[in-house]
Structure 1
Amino acid sequence: MKPCRSARTSPSSPSAAWRSGSCSARNPGGPCVGYVTTMGDLDFRALWDRALTYEEFVKQSREHCSLWTGVYRLARIPPWALEQACEQGRTFRLLVLAEDWCGDASNTIPYVAKLGAQGHCLEMRVLRRDENPEVMDRYVSGSARAIPIVILLDDAWREVGHWGSRPAELQAWVLEARKTTPKEELYPQIRRWYAKDKGESTLREILALLPRETSTVAATTDDSQ
């Protein structure tokens, strides 16, 4: 990875990477398969063409650059994830909505990027949320513009499903813990969860979006009778 652009001075608060009401979601996290839009179709091919590669996104980042590069460098993609990503022999695209300051994004998206780099069956690009409100509006969770969002596209530029903005297990815990735990105590625990999980929950939930090819053996047998 090339060096990031010179960073702005980041807030000193330990929770700076999780800006209140912007990064964390209020809805249950995890995958959503077969999303149906109610706001008109998006031109995913045009969005993809103007999106950034992971390297470009990180190079332009002004906040938490060392976190983005460090997580990517240390990320280890499990063999099961590489196998599952390529088991169909088809290429899918992952269009990500993120911002560099978002701690949930910097603890998940580097794993997705490395999966794409190593698996060769998934391509990933990034759109900045604040520069693409028309895209973010399609994936608003209640009143929260939560990121990251990962949109899975097939080879015809159709949305297969989407994921965000945290692994389901973590989000369920956050929704319960935030009732009694102050934010300054909550965010370090979120970071520890991500460090222990090593991206596996994120990869598992995103890969669950991939369509499964159904066998035609049964249908052929039925037709022959």
Structure 2
Amino acid sequence: MNLNDWYEKGITFEQYKNQMTVNKDEMLSIYNRFQVKEDELERLKNIQEKKLNVIVLTEDWCGDALVNNPILLKIAEVLKMDVRFLFRDQNLELMDQYLTNGTSRSIPIFIFIDQHGQEQAVWGPRAAKIQQLVDQEKSKLPNVDSPEFKEMQNEMIARLKKSYIEDESIWREIEKSIINSLLSI
């Protein structure tokens, strides 16, 4: 299956949003508050003429998707890119071509394609600085065998989710990271 076939198989943002059962309000909150910065718009001028489309491998339960997807959508709106969503767990044949570190089905993954279905750039699942933040948080967890592990992991996830929803500097890091990927085309 070529990437245009996967793209055609995907659903629109409206369809994705309407089926969401997890993180919908949080994702829409970010979507409604985030705008691409003016100075980034200037950097993006030449990308729009490439007429890219985007395949998003995602799931609504994913904390990284709740922050990354709305930022991608705002960038896509500015660039007039059409975005289609595919559920990771229903599209493992494609997902397994975009494993993180060659082993992990981490999401979201953004696959930018041209009109011929040729991959132009791939982004995800996190901006580098956000990965550092997550790694720092994970380093504070006890060993997985520890009786406190699950509770402390849940607290860490709650802290990260709160930061994702409230900390605009995280949004800007994601914005910059996605745009830098596009500028590498």
TM-score (norm 1): 0.68
**Residue 42 of structure 2 is aligned to residue 72 of structure 1:** no
After TM superposition, give the deviation of residue 72 of structure 1 in Å: 1.2
Q: Higher Cα Rg: structure 1 or 2?
A: 1
Which residue does 1:103 correspond to in 2?
Answer: 63
Paired residues, what number?
A: 171
Which residue does 1:201 correspond to in 2?
Answer: 173
**Residue 12 of structure 2 is aligned to residue 53 of structure 1:** yes
* One-letter amino acid of the structure 1 residue matched with residue 134 of structure 2: V
Residue identity (%): 26
Counterpart of 1:190 (choices 154, 160, 178) is 160
Alignment of 1:66-215 (within 5 A): 66-88=25-47, 89-117=49-77, 119-141=78-100, 142-181=102-141, 182-194=152-164, 195-196=166-167, 197=169, 199-211=171-183
After TM superposition, give the deviation of residue 147 of structure 1 in Å: 0.5
After TM superposition, give the deviation of residue 82 of structure 1 in Å: 2.7
Query: Relative CO higher for 1 or 2, CA cutoff 8 Å, sep ≥ 6?
Result: 1
TM-score (norm 2): 0.82
Instruction: Report the Cα distance in structure 2 between the residues aligned to 1:201 and 1:184, rounded to whole angstroms.
Output: 24
Instruction: Report the Cα distance in structure 2 between the residues aligned to 1:144 and 1:212, rounded to whole angstroms.
Output: 24
After TM superposition, give the deviation of residue 136 of structure 1 in Å: 0.7
**Which one has the bigger helix percentage?**
2
Alignment check: 8 A CA contact 1:58 1:68 kept: no
Alignment check: 8 A CA contact 2:130 2:173 kept: no
Which residue does 1:4 correspond to in 2?
Answer: none
The 10-residue stretch of structure 1 (101-110 or 171-180) with the greater mean CA deviation from structure 2: 171-180
* One-letter amino acid of the structure 2 residue matched with residue 46 of structure 1: D
Once the two structures are superposed, what CA deviation does each residue of 1:138-192 show, in whole Å capped at 9, x if it has no partner? 1122432100001111232211221111111121232233122331332233234
Instruction: Report the Cα distance in structure 2 between the residues aligned to 1:113 and 1:192, rounded to whole angstroms.
Output: 20
Instruction: Report the Cα distance in structure 2 between the residues aligned to 1:64 and 1:55, rounded to whole angstroms.
Output: 15
Distance 1:70 1:212, change over 3 A: closer
Instruction: Report the Cα distance in structure 2 between the residues aligned to 1:211 and 1:171, rounded to whole angstroms.
Output: 21
RMSD: 2.0
| Secondary structure, aligned partner of 1:139 | coil
| Secondary structure, aligned partner of 2:132 | helix
Counterpart of 1:62 (choices 15, 21, 42) is 21
